[in-house]
A and B are shown apart, each in its own frame.
Chain A
Amino acid sequence: MAIRVQEQPFDPGGEANAFADAQDDAGAVVTFTGIVRDLPEGGGLDRMVIEHYPGMTEKALDQIAADARARWELADVLIIHRYGEMRAGERIMMVATAARHRKHAFEAAEFLMDYLKSRAPFWKKEHTTDGGVWVAARDEDEDALSRW
């Protein structure tokens, strides 16, 4: 299991391959990659800045991964999440899950994403030429936790 919180970019394809290569006993690998979206209607995003809470971030991600492993039969879990400044199209984060069977890998990846959204201490700020706006948490992200 690996959890990385980092400022520098990462290569999702290379990470996915290395993760799959490291498995002996998994028949399924699911990966999810989050990408910086431009703003709707014409865009105009100059940059996104992600702030986090060093120390708590790592603990929260460890706990979320441990919860997933307690719930599904997982061979392995990878979480990478960036902080700092990034532009539209850059990769923000990825999760990968490995399991003997795909159902476990898919469900666990969704669970990880749902919890990462609203239980890991990251905050996004979108900057345009007009200034910066903190991204508001959405009710549906909080509601998504209730299905688990």
Chain B
Amino acid sequence: MDVLYFAWVRERIGLPREQVQTQARTVHDLVAELRAREERYAVAFSDLSALRVAVDQELADFDAPLDGVREVAFFPPMTGG
């Protein structure tokens, strides 16, 4: 699946999107896999209360299932308007 990062999450991880091969069943599982990769991921995902997630471009919870999902995005709370 495609994993996208925005704002300071993108800056901390150092890239805007990547293809991830994963068997993760939920967003939480995916976060655990990413955290285990490298320090920059561990730092970016250190405080989930500071992050929001979208699954296939819809806001979702961290326990959302990933079955059939094509795109997951992580970002800080939005500041539009």
Contact = CB atoms under 8 A, between A and B. Distances in A.
Max chain A C-beta neighbours (<10 A), residue from B4, B7, B10, B59: B7
Interface string B59-81: 10000000000000101111111
A123 B7 contact: yes
Counting contact residues on chain A (CB < 8 A from B), the size range is 20 to 34
Majority secondary structure of chain A interface residues (helix, strand, loop or mixed): mixed
Counting contact residues on chain B (CB < 8 A from A), the size range is 10 to 19
Contacts of B54: 53, 56, 121
B73 A34 contact: no
B43 to A, nearest CB: 15
A134 to B, nearest CB: 5
Contact of A116 (B59, B77, B80): B80
A3 to B, nearest CB: 13
Interface string B22-63: 000000000000000000000000000000001001110000
